[in-house]
């Protein structure tokens, strides 16, 4: 019984111990960052205040602090302070407990004189260490009304009471970093709203169109944060509405449309009775349009003539690099060629053109990668082109360097940078076939070269065709022909006269010959007889046909006779007589023809011929 009691007590004790240690651990965890954390001692204050305005300066430490030594505010009246406030907050985020401790010292001050004042550093001690705050500069400007004790809100009310025109109190201003630029040179446009009065509900009515420009928003804050700013000697709370980077595209003058907003302004709208029955002013928020200034931007031409291969890129700090993943490959394999151009400029415009891909490769449209960050210092980044080159032919191939020509706004000149060249060795692959070769490929079209060989010149309007020589040559040729024909006619006439005489005399001559032949026959001289018969017949026909007797052969005679349509029978008998005579002159007559019958036949045929020819 006693034993079980002891065990029970020990169990309870140990469980308490475990629980307590667990909780204790928890505490330690929460405190741990406290020891290591960075102590910061900061000053918070408006940078610009007006004379007579009550303003606060807060020194704050992110831990428990002690031993605050106040700075000396020279020229500034301290109304109250330092008011010390320590706070401790816990926050649970995702199950972790965080403890936030802060100590702040607040002053309420009024500046009496205009000028720049420095709030010197204050000192605190945290965990035995001393920390100093940074000295802080404030600018004091002349107050609006000279009414020193009026606070901000009252001032606003009095303004809105007195006038409906709010343009002095609320306006938008767009500033441009440059207004005279080269095409492609960036401009930062900053639009801010300035106000002295309470406004709410900003609604964009019109944003500039920027026709002729390429634009990119740098900052368009979701929450508009106001900050005091001094403008023309007056204090405004200013807020950034939009910051844009713009790139002009073309030469010319451009009027940029103003930025327009509609804001709700607190304004007096009438009178009303309050709960005590007094007449008071009634206020309401009224929508008012607010317009920014309009600006003209001049885009000027480049100071030099654009080079032919100018990429259109304008900017500075450009670098170009190229790389290939291998330099030895086989046909049907591919290599990756990477081209990277980096710098600050209108890189968005850059396209992949310009790389001369050797014939040996098939290539596709490159993959384009770009990482460009647009800030107030321009668009900085790079553009990368990845070409996949498929080897089609084998051999040693050179990828020529690529030139990149841009306009440098720093040096005001066109600059050229280039990549290195690559020597690629392509071996014949296993599947290489000559079919892949598809003849000569047209790379570029250009006009053909001038004519240098066989050049001729002639005097203007001196053409052979249509000239007098041209016509004259026809006439001369024709005249020559006519002369020829006339001469020929004359000779033919003369010739034909001789022929006529011969023709007429032919009969008589042959009669004479025949008589002598008859005499020879009577004298029994047979050989001369045949010779005389032949002469008589040949001579007769030669005269009749106008042939030279000595040249007249049997062939000629027969041809001419058949031409003159002489009966073949007669021709045959003429040939027969001639043959007989020729044979008889050299030997005995083979056939049964007697000289008498030959004589008779000849006489007969001559008589017949006389009637035909």
Partner 1 sequence: MNKKIYKISIIFTLMFFALSISAQEKNEIIIFEKANELYSQKEYEQAIEKYQKVLKNGYESAELYYNLANSYYRTKQLNYSIYYYEKAKLLAPDDEDIQNNSEMAKLLVNNRPTPIPELGIIIFMKKIVTARNHNFWSYLSVSSFIISLFLAAYFLISRSSTTKKITFSVSVVALFISALSFFFTHKQLNFLKAKNRAIVFSVTSPVNSSPDENSTKLFDVYEGFNVKIADVSGVWYKIILEDGKQGWIKKETLKIL
Beta carbon nearer to partner 1, 435 or 469: 469
Least Å distance between CB 557 and partner 1? 15
Look-up of token digits 């980096």: 342
Beta carbon nearer to partner 1, 2 or 458: 458
Determine contact, residues 536/508, Cβ cutoff 8 Å: no
Q: Which of residues 297-356 bind partner 1 (CB under 8 A)?
A: none
Cα 246 to the center of its chain, rounded Å: 22
Least Å distance between CB 311 and partner 1? 21
Region class of 3: left (phi > 0), else alpha (psi between -120 and 50), else beta: alpha
Least Å distance between CB 492 and partner 1? 9
Beta carbon nearer to partner 1, 3 or 493: 493
Least Å distance between CB 478 and partner 1? 7
Beta carbon nearer to partner 1, 6 or 455: 455
Is residue 553 part of the contact set for partner 1 (CB under 8 A)?
Answer: no
* Distance set, CA 31 to CA 27, 28, 41 (Å): 6, 5, 20
Q: Which two tokens stand for residue 472?
A: 């004259």
Least Å distance between CB 304 and partner 1? 18
Closest CA to 414 of 534, 313, 548: 313
Least Å distance between CB 579 and partner 1? 26
Q: Which residues contact 302 (CB under 8 A, 6 or more apart)?
A: 182, 183, 407, 414
Q: Which of residues 143-162 bind partner 1 (CB under 8 A)?
A: none
10 Å Cβ neighbour count for 536?
24
Round to whole Å and give the CA distance between 32 and 99: 10
Closest CA to 609 of 544, 525, 557, 521: 544
Least Å distance between CB 488 and partner 1? 6
Q: Which two tokens stand for residue 344?
A: 């600050």
- Total residues at interface with partner 1 (CB under 8 A): 33
Look-up of token digits 């009496």: 112
Beta carbon nearer to partner 1, 7 or 482: 482
Least Å distance between CB 458 and partner 1? 6
* Distance set, CA 187 to CA 207, 216, 376, 423, 491 (Å): 17, 11, 9, 42, 106
Beta carbon nearer to partner 1, 273 or 471: 471
Task: Sketch the per residue contact string, 409 through 448, with partner 1: x for CB under 8 A, - otherwise.
Answer: ------------------------------------xxxx
Least Å distance between CB 575 and partner 1? 22
Least Å distance between CB 541 and partner 1? 18
Q: Which of residues 221-260 bind partner 1 (CB under 8 A)?
A: none
Beta carbon nearer to partner 1, 112 or 306: 306
Beta carbon nearer to partner 1, 28 or 442: 442
Cβ-based burial of 581 (10 A; exposed 0-12, middle 13-18, buried ≥19): buried
Q: Which of residues 448-507 bind partner 1 (CB under 8 A)?
A: 448-452, 454-460, 463-466, 469-470, 473-474, 476-478, 480-481, 483-485, 487-488
Q: Which two tokens stand for residue 109?
A: 């001050």
Round to whole Å and give the CA distance between 428 and 436: 12
Positive or negative: CA dihedral 513, 514, 519, 525: positive
Round to whole Å and give the CA distance between 389 and 334: 5
Beta carbon nearer to partner 1, 463 or 607: 463
Look-up of token digits 């204790």: 24
Beta carbon nearer to partner 1, 13 or 480: 480
The residues binding partner 1 (CB under 8 A) are 445-452, 454-460, 463-466, 469-470, 473-474, 476-478, 480-481, 483-485, 487-488
């Amino acid at each position: 019984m006693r034993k079980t009691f002891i065990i029970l007590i020990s169990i309870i004790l140990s469980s308490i111990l475990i629980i307590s240690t667990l909780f204790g651990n928890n505490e330690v965890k929460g405190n741990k960052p406290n020891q290591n954390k960075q102590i910061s001692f900061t000053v918070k204050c408006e940078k610009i205040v007006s004379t007579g305005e009550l303003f606060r300066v807060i020194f704050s430490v992110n831990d428990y602090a002690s031993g605050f030594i106040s700075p000396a505010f020279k020229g500034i009246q301290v109304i109250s302070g330092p008011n010390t406030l320590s706070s401790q907050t816990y926050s649970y985020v995702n199950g972790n407990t965080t403890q936030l401790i802060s100590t702040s010292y607040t002053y309420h001050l009024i500046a009496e004189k205009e000028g720049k004042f420095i709030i010197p550093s204050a000192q605190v001690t945290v965990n035995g260490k001393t920390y100093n705050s940074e000295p802080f500069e404030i600018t004091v400007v002349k107050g609006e009304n000279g009414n020193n004790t009026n606070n901000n809100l009252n001032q606003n009310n009095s303004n809105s009471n007195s006038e409906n025109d709010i343009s002095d109190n609320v306006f938008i201003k767009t500033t441009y970093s440059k207004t005279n630029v080269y095409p492609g040179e960036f401009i930062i446009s900053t639009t801010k709203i300035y106000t002295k009065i309470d406004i709410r509900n900003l609604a964009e009515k019109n944003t500039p169109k920027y026709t002729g420009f390429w634009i990119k928003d740098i900052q368009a804050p979701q929450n508009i944060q106001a900050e005091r700013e001094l403008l023309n000697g007056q204090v405004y709370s200013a807020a950034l509405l939009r910051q844009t980077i713009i790139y002009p595209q073309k030469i010319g003058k451009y009027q940029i449309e103003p930025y327009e907003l509609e804001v709700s302004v607190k304004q007096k709208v009438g009178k009303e009775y309050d709960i005590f029955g007094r007449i008071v002013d009634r206020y309401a928020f009224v929508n008012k349009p607010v317009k920014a200034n309009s600006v003209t931007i001049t885009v000027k031409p480049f100071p030099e003539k654009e080079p032919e291969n100018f990429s259109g890129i304008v900017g500075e700090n450009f670098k170009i690099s190229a790389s290939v993943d291998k330099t030895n490959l086989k046909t049907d394999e591919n290599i990756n060629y990477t081209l990277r151009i980096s710098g600050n400029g209108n890189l968005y415009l850059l396209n992949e053109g310009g790389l001369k891909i050797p014939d040996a490769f098939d290539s596709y449209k490159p993959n384009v990668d770009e990482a460009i960050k647009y800030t107030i210092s321009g668009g900085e980044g790079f553009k990368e082109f990845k070409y996949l080159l498929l080897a089609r032919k084998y051999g040693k191939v050179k990828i020529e360097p690529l030139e990149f020509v841009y306009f440098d706004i720093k040096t005001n000149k066109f600059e050229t940078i280039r990549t290195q060249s690559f020597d690629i060795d392509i071996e014949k692959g296993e599947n290489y076939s000559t079919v892949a070769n598809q003849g000569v490929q047209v790379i570029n079209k250009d006009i053909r070269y001038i004519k240098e060989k066989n050049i001729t010149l002639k005097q203007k309007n001196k053409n052979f065709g249509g000239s007098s020589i041209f016509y004259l040559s026809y006439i001369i040729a024709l005249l020559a022909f006519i002369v020829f024909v006339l001469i020929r006619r004359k000779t033919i006439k003369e010739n034909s006269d001789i022929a006529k005489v011969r023709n007429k005399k032919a009969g008589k001559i042959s009669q004479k010959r025949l008589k002598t032949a008859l005499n020879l026959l009577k004298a029994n001289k047979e050989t001369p007889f045949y010779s005389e018969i032949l002469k008589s017949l040949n001579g007769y026909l030669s005269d009749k046909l106008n042939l030279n007797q000595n040249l007249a052969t049997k062939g000629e005679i027969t041809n001419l006779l058949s031409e003159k349509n002489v009966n073949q029978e007669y021709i045959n008998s003429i040939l027969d007589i001639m043959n007989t005579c020729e044979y008889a002159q050299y030997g005995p007559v083979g056939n049964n023809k007697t000289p008498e019958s030959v004589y008779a036949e000849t006489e007969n045929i001559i008589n017949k011929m006389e009637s035909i020819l």
